[in-house]
Amino acid sequence: MRVVADTQRCVGAGQCVLTDPTTFDQNDEDGTVVILRDEPQDPQTSARVREAVHLCPNQALSIVE
Amino acid sequence: MTSSMLPVVRTCPYQPPAEHVRLRESEPVARVTLPSGSSVWALSRLEDIRTMLTDPRFSSDRQHPGFPQFFSGQRPTGKFGRSLIGMDPPEHGPARRAVVGEFTVRRMAALRPRIQQIVDEHIDAMLAGPRPADLVQALSLPIPSLVICELLGVPYADHEFFQRYSGQLLSRTASTEQRTTAIVELRSYLQDLVARRQEAPGDDLISRQIAQATERGDRTADDVVNLGFLLLVAGHETTANMISLGVMTLLDHPAQLAAMVADQSITPLAVEELLRYFTIAEFATSRVAKENIEIGGVLIRAGEGVIALGTAANRDPAAFVNGDDLDLSRGARHHVAFGFGAHQCLGQNLARMELQIVFDTLFRRIPGLRLAGSVDALPFKDDAVVYGLYDLPVTWDAPAE
């Protein structure tokens, strides 16, 4: 699986960074999501990434299987 | 279709109004009448609320005649001026991204040492004063106010002025005139601060917003004043109420409190659970439909208002196991206490950190802290749009002579 971000939808709430800081970061300028690693390397990270997708308030994250 | 009068008062401080729970169980998309007399749709299932708040066909425009009005005479206040909370796409996204960089998880973490210092100073002052103390006046109100001062770059010498009027704005005993005076004074203070920062920028949010607005030519000085005022009002009372309710709840659940004090990794989870449990600002998530839209199998027509019963939804059995139970180690972040969708609380990570620091510090520094009375006798904000406590008398053991 791979996680994809739509920075035009992102509202910088930071939910993804709180959920998995190894995968997600925020741009200092406008707070939008920065993906550090788009392919989770282990099942725990995959689970956290799926949770981040669910928690994203504006559906800016999606998963490509 | 029946239209029941929707109670907004919580009869038990720990529970949503019984009617909200009944609606969630039997009529999750219901036509209800608000205390103002206007009829709106009420959503009470978590999934329906998430759907509504992420659908751009529901508008946040508070000037729209169909936008839910809870109490009569509420509109138009113009209190916030034109600000983020009333904007829709395509205007909202760029406007939010222009400021949200100030609230990233990293930026909030950088504020931690200063917030810790503010919290310690206020606990020192409370300990030096008489017992019992009112925790609302000692900690809940001044701490978020000072944090906003720091964020906006209000000079230290002006903190007292700023706190006096922001306290007056939120005081139960203040008259309408006094509240209006507070709004006028704070707005005029912020106008002056913006003018000063235009001349001599500092390392603060206001200065950075002015620089950005000048560079892009997309906002006026007055927009920066409106933003400052929104941050002040939105960030002050909400955080203050969660500090008060959180401390009350933790003291009223001593076994769970002891587990949290013994293991500080529980504190962030406890903050999340308290946010879910109280959902103090649920009425901030209202919308008005711009088109005919079906939600949960019910047709909502263009121009009709919709409110989200967040407290009931945050106990929805479809989303939370034993949701009526307080479980500080639950760790569920899919609640809608900060709202959902493009408008989800801008300052949520600041609020989380303030609450974590207060809870971690307070119970570690005053292990004998206790309520100076019963929970039932406390003055809850049953009459306010944001739920909370007017006073919270607490006491503690005197230090050994």
pLDDT string in tens for chain B (401-residue length): 556 788 777 888 999 999 999 999 999 999 999 988 999 999 999 999 999 999 999 999 999 999 998 877 654 445 555 689 999 999 999 999 999 999 999 999 999 999 999 999 999 999 999 999 999 999 999 999 999 999 999 888 898 898 888 888 877 778 889 989 999 999 999 999 999 999 999 999 999 999 999 999 888 999 999 999 989 888 888 999 999 999 999 999 999 999 999 999 999 999 999 999 999 998 889 999 999 999 999 999 999 999 999 999 999 999 999 999 999 999 999 999 999 999 999 999 999 999 999 999 999 999 999 999 999 999 998 877 789 999 999 999 987 55
List the single residue in B101, B333, B349 with the smallest CB-CB distance to A30: B101
| Interface contact B93-A8, CB threshold 8 A | yes
Angle at the Cα of B164 (from B161 to B166), degrees rounded to 5?
105
CA A33 to CA A7: how far, in whole Å? Answer: 7
Residue type, B50: R
Nearest Cα residue in chain B from A54: B334
| Interface contact A14-B101, CB threshold 8 A | no
Q: Are B316 and B53 in contact (CB under 8 A)?
A: no
pLDDT of residue B8: 72
Task: Pull the structure tokens for residue B13.
Answer: 């401080």
Q: Are B344 and A59 in contact (CB under 8 A)?
A: no
The angle that helices B142-152 and B159-170 make with each other, rounded to 10 degrees, is: 130
- At the topology level, CATH places domain A2-64 in Alpha-Beta Plaits (3.30.70)
pLDDT of residue B386: 86
pLDDT of residue B3: 67
pLDDT of residue A60: 97
Residues of A in contact with B334 (CB under 8 A): 54-55
Mutate to test the interface with B, among A22, A25, A29 (most CBs of B within 10 A): A29
CA of A32 to nearest chain B CA: how many angstroms apart?
7
Mutate to test the interface with A, among B344, B350, B356 (most CBs of A within 10 A): B344
List the single residue in B54, B104, B345 with the smallest CB-CB distance to A28: B104
CA of A30 to nearest chain B CA: how many angstroms apart?
4
Report the C-alpha dihedral over residues B62, B73, B181, B283, rounded to 10 degrees. -50
Interface contact A47, partner B, CB < 8 A: no
Length of chain B: 401
pLDDT of residue B81: 56
pLDDT of residue B76: 44
Beta bridge mates, A2: A64
Q: Which stretches of B303-347 are DSSP H helices?
A: 310-313
Residues of A in contact with B341 (CB under 8 A): 57-58
pLDDT of residue B171: 74
Length of chain A: 65
ipTM field: 0.97
- At the topology level, CATH places domain B4-395 in Cytochrome p450 (1.10.630)
Residue among B356, B331, B327, B320 at smallest CA distance from B259: B327
Cα-to-chain-centroid distance, residue A10: 10
Question: Is B74 in a helix, a strand, or coil?
Answer: coil
CA of A12 to nearest chain B CA: how many angstroms apart?
6
| Interface contact A12-B341, CB threshold 8 A | no
CA of B30 to nearest chain A CA: how many angstroms apart?
24
CA A49 to CA A17: how far, in whole Å? Answer: 10
CA B61 to CA B171: how far, in whole Å? Answer: 28
Residues of A in contact with B339 (CB under 8 A): 57
CA B145 to CA B185: how far, in whole Å? Answer: 15
DSSP 8-state symbol, B57:
T
CA B31 to CA B305: how far, in whole Å? Answer: 10
Beta bridge mates, B306: B41, B287
Question: Is B9 in a helix, a strand, or coil?
Answer: coil
